[in-house]
Amino acid sequence: MLTVAALASQAHAADYTWTDAAGAHAVTLARTASGDDVELKVSATLDGRPDWAVRDYVKACPVDVILDVVPKSIEMRDLLGNGRKQFLFAYKIGCRGDVSADQVKYFLIDAGTKYVLRGEEIVTVNGKFVDGGAAPVPNADLKAQPAFLRYMTKHWRGISMRND
């Protein structure tokens, strides 16, 4: 079972819950702002106990702060066929006053281990390439898990596109 609450406001939060072979999972996404600082925190519990967390920040940005979860990136999948689901999500991060590309971080969490694909978004305007698109780079854990790397690489382009 999956329960989803919509991302609603500037300080939005969404909760995702499911049960699998490992137990009952709950994930919370929260974006908070304080002055010129913005924080994104994604945290999870397993059977009611803290399991893992991802935090990122943009501090003292004098222009536009970008620290946004990509809604279509959020999913729970059993990519190993072992009855345990992985949680996937991506977010874009940057401080910009123009159309330049932001960084993209795409996470897959499995049993508390963070598999990460990092790269740059592809920016298009009216369907024409403008900026970005540097190839994503996997962390060492992701390089060592081919099933996860294949899945995330296959979905990277859709997650990293921005059409202004």
CA distance 57 to 74: 20
Is the predicted pLDDT of residue 128 greater than 50, yes or no?
Answer: yes
Amino acid present at 63: V
pLDDT at 99 over 90: no
Asked if 161 and 121 count as a contact pair (C-beta separation under 8 A), the reply is yes
pLDDT at 70: 96
In tens, the pLDDT along 9-32 reads 344 444 899 999 999 999 999 999
Mean pLDDT of the chain: 90
> Which residues on adjacent β-strands are paired with residue 25?
18, 46
DSSP H or E run through 83: none
Nearest CA to 53 out of 39, 42, 69, 68 is that of 42
In the predicted structure, residue 107 carries a pLDDT above the cut 80: yes
* Domain extents in the chain: 3-163
